[in-house]
Structure 1
Amino acid sequence: MSARCQSSDPCSTFFVCFSPPSMSRTAGQGQSKKPLQIFVESPKNQQVIASLAKPDCFDFDIALGFLDTICKEIHGIQSWQDFYRRLSALNRPYLSEVTGNVRKLLKYMKARDAQGSSLVATHRQKRKLIAECGIRQRKYSVADILSDSVPDTIPPIAIMWRERSDTNRKIRRYTYLSEYDRVGPEQAPGKKIEKTANYDMTYLPDNESHIVLSGSPNNFEVELIALRHVATNDGPYSNGLMNFLSQAVDAARDMRRNVRPTHEGVMNQVGLNMGPRHCRIFGAAKSFTKKLTDEQMIHHDHDIIGAVSVFWAICQAILPEDVTSAVNQYIDEEQLPALQTRNVEPDSGFTLRIKEKPFFFPYAPRAPPEAYINKGYSAPTHTDPTYCRFALAFIVRRDIDRDHQARHGAKALHDHIGGNYVDVRLGVIVASASGTVIAFKPGEMHATTLSYGACNYGYATTFSRRLADGYRELSEEEKADYFIKLEEIVTHT
């Protein structure tokens, strides 16, 4: 049989092939057969070859992965040309269909090579992208950092000790926070504003990665994480990825519904969504506000699924296991499906469009089923009800409006001020910057400071309680019935 191994590494694809019992070496007739003949007589292997021989099913990376298995199983084969020549030399009429399918497959491979990889990303290009984004880092824990045994592949991370307290940070809910000394009520009529300078707050600068802990080295609690320079090493692929992620945010802003009211900026939701609290609605978010063709909706949905899923893959790779294990345990316990939309059926795999070239990762796991895309977002102090201890956010771009009145003149604000995440009781302000991944506790009071012309582009996964509650109420039959309603899915022909 043939089994496909799905790994968290978006680029790892391989096949494990076994011979059917009737063709095993212990069988008298099978002992006289050559390894190639045994391999191609396997129904599962024939099925893979037949699938790859179909124009609409051919995938370059799957073909490479399958060829790698062939080279390991059969001595002397190094290419599809070798495989085809050896198969033809067997001269077995009952294998003529398999031989014909390999001939078609070989034609696709040659055509792909002749195009010079101008249409889609090659396996090598995808591996380069993964390396530039740091998705291949070794796993580590906070304990590793405290004991100075963190892998060399992990960039430096500073530890800060900080305790939660209300003593010097008594700020009520729904209060806007400002880092601007000259802020006044007239700048937000009817809104309560507090200056962060009046409270015991500390900055996490935008050029250093930090993990904020409470307790002691022998009994600590992870409170907040801010990792910097993520996927921003000036490589051609990482630059292309950040541009793709920024463009996907712009598309979400222009074409999708703003589902969360904010003082500044927008926040849009895609994926699964349970409707307003008083409604009994559960399903894929209906988020487009403009009338688009089916092809346009599919295109934008694939972009968002790709953007959120690569954000998820990066978080899984670069965050310490203290966070990823807690998040993954929650996902496993809730058994929530992966990200999907009304126009793209649930499945594994996603596509990134970098410099107009598709980077397709067919077996990479998609992100969890709830994602928020934000631009210029600012919010007052609040908490988010969630079952998971941590939420994740990724700032992919930060722009400053130089025409804003607070951004010019003798007392112009510094670029790092405005639109920054604040954990109120912890007394920590995370300076926003491109390439920043934040893991925070959504159940603790937090806010995003008034922006004053600072505009962050970002993604967030929050694991909201209302989505989990809605999914829990569905029976197993209802879950299956909803998630396999293919007639409601717009398919791309």
Structure 2
Amino acid sequence: MTHDLPKQDTSRTEFRTWLARNYPPQSKKLWDSMPRVSYRRKHNLAQQLHLNRRIQSFDELVKTFSLEVIYVKSTEETKQARGCALLDQTDPDILKFWEAMQSAWPRRRGSKPRRSFLIGDKKGTKTKKWLELDADKSYLILDAENHQVVMFVIRKAISSDRVVMAASDIVDEATGCRRDLRPYEPGRIVAFGHSAGRRDARVFGNVKNIIKGKSDTVRVHGMNCNALGVASLLWAVVESIVPTDITKDFLDQLDAVNLPPIGADTIDPKGTGYEIKLGMEAYHFPLASRSPPEAYFTRGYSSAGHTDDSIAPFTFGFGLRREISSPADSWKVGLSQRACEALATKLPETIPARPSGGDFVNLKYQIICRNSENLLIMFRPNHLHGSTVPFGATTRSVAFTASRHIIKAWEKSQICTIDRLEGSNAVFSDTDLCD
């Protein structure tokens, strides 16, 4: 039985209605019914994104993207920023309204308001302690003592505005339909891929965090395919930009424990390939490798000062679409309607729109990376870092890391599986599991 496809300018809601009307809702393959483009179109997209490019060294990276190289020294002055909300004191209004903003944000029963830490140099300060990375320049930051790479920032990393917009839309979909990992922090952050479960009962498995429309198998499969496609395509961009020895080391750490690639309950983790939808067209890459197994999508999210326990030396993050609005609107991401009403009485809407907040901060080296659209950043997760509280800017982002607790949960599940299959109580070492 054949059905006429909807027109190319059909809205997403109309397309879903057409999909549900013409196909049975039980099939998980429905999302794949969107018309796929030809091989030539896929080849053109891959060429536009430079997916076949491989950069061999940081010297080549500096020449390719015209990076400004800066040497910095670490400091002990920011240790107390751990667990604190980061306030950019270069914007005086955020200090003026911080108490009102904090009172509107929900927090755990009995918990105290979050402490804050001021970053940046006040206007008029002659002695500059903080290094500000401009929003229109790309940088490579090196340690002044040992010349190790601290971080790099590349603007206009994705050579297609259409991909940036499509990825941003899927981030909006994910953050709107999946459970927030940090409900007591500004903005929303959701996980996709593998998970270790609750902290008090670690169990390895796929993330199960869809809370809106989870009874609709078609919608669940569609959201999983969308998230997988965006994560995998962005990781392909990472591999085309980051020097090969860095990405190889990252993937080798995962291969050493035989950790399966990214997947979901409705997607076979042993398979290959992914699909990303640009408008009403589907770009299907059936043989392409998928992204690492742990990805995070954020919208308007601000993280307090912290470090991440990762088995890899670097974490990679993309900044996608960035909206500039009034501080009140940017602060409402993730808030309930009641909390928004409470905030409106304390934070006047007359504060003008400004591109403030959501900036990455390396606290160990006192670096503020001004955020922008279409940004790729690589940093060391064991350095104390965070992002500034949103006060006018709402950014969508995707990050890739390799958390140690997920690796440990995977190794534990492998030991339990081997014991169950062999019927023995033998204990396997880490070396045995890596062979």
* 1:177 and 2:91 matched: no
Which residue of 2 is the match for residue 223 of structure 1?
150
Q: CA deviation at 1:322?
A: 4.7
Asked whether the 8 Å contact 1:407–1:413 carries over to 2, the reply is no
Equivalent residues in 2 for 1:93-492, closer than 5 Å: 119-144=35-60, 150=63, 154-166=64-76, 168-179=77-88, 180-182=91-93, 183-184=95-96, 185-186=98-99, 187-189=101-103, 190-198=113-121, 200-215=129-144, 220-232=147-159, 238-290=160-212, 291-346=214-269, 347-402=271-326, 404=328, 412=352, 414-415=354-355, 417-475=356-414, 478=417
Q: 1 CA distance for matches of 2:228 and 2:48?
A: 21
Q: 1 CA distance for matches of 2:323 and 2:284?
A: 29
Q: 1:403–1:372: structure 2 CA closer, same or farther, 3 Å change rule?
A: closer
The amino acid that maps onto 1:279 is A
- The alignment's TM-score, normalised by the length of structure 1, stands at 0.66
Q: CA deviation at 1:220?
A: 2.2
Q: 1:421–1:331: structure 2 CA closer, same or farther, 3 Å change rule?
A: same
Q: CA deviation at 1:321?
A: 3.1
Deviations 1:226-282 (A, max 9, x none): 1110224xxxxx232122211111111221111233521110011111111211321
Asked whether the 8 Å contact 1:266–1:375 carries over to 2, the reply is yes
Asked whether the 8 Å contact 2:353–2:392 carries over to 1, the reply is no
Deviations 1:100-131 (A, max 9, x none): xxxxxxxxxxxxxxxxxx93211221122122
Q: 2 CA distance for matches of 1:243 and 1:145?
A: 26
**Secondary structure, counterpart of 1:300 in structure 2:** helix
Which residue of 1 is the match for residue 10 of structure 2?
none
**Secondary structure, counterpart of 1:252 in structure 2:** helix
Q: CA deviation at 1:340?
A: 0.5
Judge which range, 312-321 or 325-334, deviates more: 325-334
Q: 2 CA distance for matches of 1:301 and 1:145?
A: 33
Which residue of 2 is the match for residue 111 of structure 1?
none
Q: 1 CA distance for matches of 2:203 and 2:293?
A: 15
The amino acid that maps onto 1:470 is A
Q: CA deviation at 1:329?
A: 2.5
Q: 2 CA distance for matches of 1:225 and 1:206?
A: 13
Q: 1:479–1:384: structure 2 CA closer, same or farther, 3 Å change rule?
A: farther
**Secondary structure, counterpart of 2:304 in structure 1:** strand
Q: 1:406–1:339: structure 2 CA closer, same or farther, 3 Å change rule?
A: farther
Q: 1 CA distance for matches of 2:134 and 2:353?
A: 15
Deviations 1:73-112 (A, max 9, x none): xxxxxxxxxxxxxxxxxxxxxxxxxxxxxxxxxxxxxxxx
Q: Which one has a bigger Cα radius of gyration?
A: 1
The amino acid that maps onto 2:403 is S
Q: 2 CA distance for matches of 1:406 and 1:156?
A: 42
Q: 2 CA distance for matches of 1:272 and 1:313?
A: 19
Q: 1:340–1:174: structure 2 CA closer, same or farther, 3 Å change rule?
A: same
Q: 2 CA distance for matches of 1:339 and 1:364?
A: 13
Judge which range, 170-179 or 397-406, deviates more: 397-406
Q: 1:276–1:133: structure 2 CA closer, same or farther, 3 Å change rule?
A: same
Q: CA deviation at 1:355?
A: 1.5
The amino acid that maps onto 2:358 is G
**Secondary structure, counterpart of 2:283 in structure 1:** strand
Q: CA deviation at 1:143?
A: 4.1
Sequence identity, in percent? 24
Deviations 1:362-387 (A, max 9, x none): 11100111111110000111111111
Give the aligned length.
348
Provide the alpha-carbon RMSD of the alignment: 2.5
Q: CA deviation at 1:138?
A: 3.5
**Secondary structure, counterpart of 2:149 in structure 1:** strand
Structure 1 stretches lacking a partner, 5+ long: 1-117, 233-237, 483-493
- The alignment's TM-score, normalised by the length of structure 2, stands at 0.74
Judge which range, 342-351 or 238-247, deviates more: 238-247
Q: CA deviation at 1:215?
A: 3.8
Asked whether the 8 Å contact 1:262–1:377 carries over to 2, the reply is no
Q: 1:403–1:171: structure 2 CA closer, same or farther, 3 Å change rule?
A: closer
Q: 1 CA distance for matches of 2:318 and 2:418?
A: 30
**Secondary structure, counterpart of 1:334 in structure 2:** coil
Structure 2 stretches lacking a partner, 5+ long: 1-33, 104-112, 122-127, 329-346, 422-435
